[in-house]
Amino acid sequence: MELKRFVGQVALVTGAGSGIGQACALRFAQEGARVACLDVNDAANESAAAACQAAESEAITAHCNVADPDSVKAAVEAAMSKWGRVDILVAAAGIYSGSPLVEVPLKQWQRLIDINLTGVFLCNQAVAPIMMAQKSGSIINISSMAGKTSWPASAEYSASKSGVIGLTRSVAMELAPYGATANAICPGNTLTEMVKHVASQVAPRDGVSPEEWLQLRANDCPMKRMAEPWEIAGVAAFLASPDSRYMTGQALEVDGGMVMS
Ligand SMILES: NC(=O)c1ccc[n+]([C@@H]2O[C@H](COP(=O)([O-])OP(=O)(O)OC[C@H]3O[C@@H](n4cnc5c(N)ncnc54)[C@H](O)[C@@H]3O)[C@@H](O)[C@H]2O)c1
């Protein structure tokens, strides 16, 4: 059955140029939404928008650094001036860094927090008044299994992703009286450029090839495989759909059973 749940709606997706954000942009386009693709990587963002258009959706791109309030404001205004509404926000833009605690340079900590946590805050803050005025809307913030559990040498990443869960709950409380929802998704290892990049950096330290490292990470979870980005996008679509109207402030583990195990 082909679902078209978002005809007439507008979805804003940050980090749309790659991985989970790109899969979400395409999924919302396939289901009939008009999509604003936001990313710092213009070339990747353009190809994501082209894929949305190939799915017969309207799509625009905005060069947007989620850590910069003016950049976020301009991107949201671009979508508003084109379509006059925002029904869905997927805040997927993010980066990964990690070092043993005593070696984390303050700049590395701050850069990641600026993008992964402040970036989500700024995007939520920019769309919330629009959704309140519309009396509808769905915010979907991409956290991580690292927001629910932790491992060594991931202080800033884990802190940012736990922060996204707390932020999402507070936003959910403020939006609830207006009929809008805010939920987080906590993906497990998902096969994207981010994970491949981490593999290429960390595998030599562990004495294995990047491919072996990826397989080891896949084996960490009960399903013994990584997620594909479209498997995260499917849950984002559910969270934007009427089927989840009474669900807010939740942080869903979409991780092949990793955290519960
Ligand atoms: N891949 C995983 O295993 C995994 C697991 C859990 C959570 N996540 C989270 O999912 C989200 C997407 O990750 P991914 O794996 O698809 O990564 P990815 O590297 O494939 O894509 C991230 C995208 O974000 C963009 N981006 C980076 N900094 C930006 C900024 N300042 N402003 C705007 N765009 C920016 C990049 O250009 C890129 O297109 C991230 O928040 C990540 O932390 C990923």
Of residues 133 and 2, more confidently modeled: 133
Instruction: Give me the residue label for tokens 């992703």.
Output: 161
Is the pLDDT at 141 greater than 90? The verdict is yes
Mean pLDDT of the chain: 97
Q: What is the pLDDT of residue 146?
A: 98
92 Cβ inside 6 Å of ligand 1: yes
Fold of the 10-188+228-253 domain = Rossmann fold (3.40.50)
Is the pLDDT at 1 greater than 70? The verdict is no
Q: What is the pLDDT of residue 2?
A: 82
Instruction: Supply angle C-alpha 130, 79, 127, rounded to 5.
Output: 25
Model confidence pLDDT, tens digit, residues 64-78? 999 999 999 999 999
Sequence ranges of the domains in the chain: 10-188+228-253, 191-226
Model confidence pLDDT, tens digit, residues 177-212? 999 999 999 999 999 999 999 999 999 989 999 999
Is the pLDDT at 159 greater than 90? The verdict is yes
Cut 0.95: pTM above it: yes
Beta strands in the chain (DSSP E): 10-14, 34-39, 59-63, 88-91, 137-142, 180-187, 251-254
Task: Give whole-number Cα distances, 38 to 2, 25, 61, in Å.
Answer: 26, 10, 6
The percentage of residues in the chain with a pLDDT greater than 90, rounded to a whole number, is 98
Q: Report the DSSP beta bridge partners of residue 190.
A: 227
Nearest ligand 1 atom, CA 41: 37
185 Cβ inside 6 Å of ligand 1: no
For ligand 1, the distance from its centroid to the CA atom of residue 177, given in whole angstroms, is: 31
d(CA 256, CA 220): 10
163 Cβ inside 6 Å of ligand 1: no
141 Cβ inside 6 Å of ligand 1: no
Model confidence pLDDT, tens digit, residues 20-60? 999 999 999 999 999 999 999 999 999 999 999 999 999 99
For ligand 1, the distance from its centroid to the CA atom of residue 245, given in whole angstroms, is: 26
Model confidence pLDDT, tens digit, residues 125-135? 999 999 999 99
